[in-house]
Structure 1
Amino acid sequence: MLKSAYQPNAQACDKVNAEIRGLLWATQHSLEMSLALVEALLDEVEARAATAAVLRRTVQAGKAQVACAV
């Protein structure tokens, strides 16, 4: 949704008078910051999921070694 708001706002910045353009640019900067925040959060979620997967595999491998030793 943020990405879909970004482009029309950028296009509107080029088509309005200076007074309104300032407001649209403020909105544009807010959209950019929001996009960066969402991307950072998604990166963190992906990193945590990858770490959890590695930990699960490590635990499973440890259990398999214990079962083989018994």
Structure 2
Amino acid sequence: MIIPWQQIEPDTLRNLIESFVLREGTDYGESEKTLEQKVQDVKRQLERNEVILVWSELHETVNIMPKEQFRP
């Protein structure tokens, strides 16, 4: 189920994004980005509708994923 990010309290949204960024361990090339930069990158992707928040009933977790990868 898709969760509209606009309906989530700002502090909760930030915590979800931070948790996602910290567990992803993404390579950012030659220069590593700060946690704040990574959080802002994901927030911009949410705002541009490139990624979505998805609730997994099976795992009872929220994840962030590219919109085109979501299969209802």
Identify the structure with bigger relative contact order (alpha carbons < 8 Å, sequence gap 6+). Answer: 2
Structure with a larger share of its residues in helix: 1
What's the TM-score, normalizing by structure 2?
0.29
Structure with a larger share of its residues in strand: 2
